[in-house]
Structure 1
């Protein structure tokens, strides 16, 4: 996978066409949604060209590709553009069928998608709590809500009696859920996992996964970026 470079912002030159047979990822180094796609690319060993985008000062050429201005997006050498993190991951799993990450059984795949749908309702709380806390406001109701949702996620692992959400090895759903758990310590939310022992065990196991290890930032690095993000001055190139 090509190394991440400094982010491109307003006034930057548009990159040339995607080289034949390659795939390009438009990303942002600290974006958990883009990390989903990067995990899948890394796990599958897909050769990728990565271009990081300044999400606060988006280049016009990027908005022309994706009017929503979000990352990640994938672009193929034939000019196809695929948006939305979960959709990019499914696309990669179908286009590069070696080392399939989604189960081949339709019901098992549907189960992963249903769990993802549930998890998408948890994600806003990961942001809401630290941002509300930063304003000096009470977060106890939000904390209780997050603890309850994480407890349900913990119960999924208890009921399945497996090491991961899709079985005894890492599958697509684990990569789709993981990025926010990499950040719980940096975002000062680890205490919300106190009543979720199986989920904590899953976190420990995920930290040993080769793709997770290859892309992981330390809690300190995540903290620096997230602080800059909360203050409205995101330091997208921190550490470069």
Structure 2
């Protein structure tokens, strides 16, 4: 039986969250690393919207939303209990994922590329994103991870985006009033999971 095919881009936070779940599940996939400026025809045929990640299952079914890929992988095998008993963590993660993927991602894009959005200075976009960081910091003062004492699907879904935000101005982030958030991010970026997820893969050579 052929393996599922994952079209991915190493630095994309959506693709990173999908790879986190796939690696944790232990499911073997054919990883096709793509360049977003040269999207392969096979990927576009599977998912015309042209964004990563895209997972093509052995039966031809296509899953092209990162959260859905996470759920698919972990429902096959969830050795770390990321979904929680009866999927409770997955349900509890939804408000966090929604806020991350809407307001925070919008602020992140503008903070990272202020030249594309000259309506406001970069600091204003950072302040927009900080509203979410403050909520995360408050939550992480209660438990070391968003939903308890261990990493869950909620953390894995958000951490790649917070990492990207922190990297825009690492000096600012290092001194910002978010010690719990920094510790949470550091545990992730120093983990074996992160090392596996961020392994460099040659770009898939398509015809």
Asked if Structure 1 and Structure 2 have the same fold, meaning a TM-score greater than 0.5 normalized by the shorter chain, the answer is: yes
Compute the displacement of 1:189 (Å).
5.4
Q: Does the Cα contact within 8 Å between 1:146 and 1:192 map onto a contact in 2?
A: no
Q: Which residue of 1 is the match for residue 24 of structure 2?
A: 43
- Bigger RCO (CA 8 Å, 6+ sep): 2
Q: How many residues align?
A: 199
1:47-196 aligned at under 5 Å gives the runs 47-105=28-86, 107-120=88-101, 121-132=103-114, 138-158=121-141, 161-188=142-169, 191-192=172-173, 194-196=176-178
Q: Distance in 2 between matches of 1:178 and 1:131?
A: 20
Q: Does the Cα contact within 8 Å between 1:26 and 1:73 map onto a contact in 2?
A: yes
Note the residue ranges of structure 2 that are not aligned, 5 or more in a row: none
Q: Distance in 2 between matches of 1:191 and 1:26?
A: 34
Give the 3-state SS of the residue equivalent to 2:85 in structure 1.
coil
Q: Distance in 2 between matches of 1:91 and 1:106?
A: 12
C-alpha spacing 1:112/1:216, structure 2 compared with 1 (3 Å): same
Q: Highest Rg: 1 or 2? A: 1
Compute the displacement of 1:115 (Å).
1.5
Larger % of helix: which? 2
Compute the displacement of 1:117 (Å).
1.2
C-alpha spacing 1:162/1:94, structure 2 compared with 1 (3 Å): same
1:218-229 aligned at under 5 Å gives the runs none
TM-score (norm 1): 0.73
Q: Distance in 2 between matches of 1:123 and 1:43?
A: 24
Q: Does the Cα contact within 8 Å between 2:111 and 2:126 map onto a contact in 1?
A: yes
Q: Does the Cα contact within 8 Å between 1:62 and 1:69 map onto a contact in 2?
A: yes
Note the residue ranges of structure 1 that are not aligned, 5 or more in a row: 1-19, 222-235
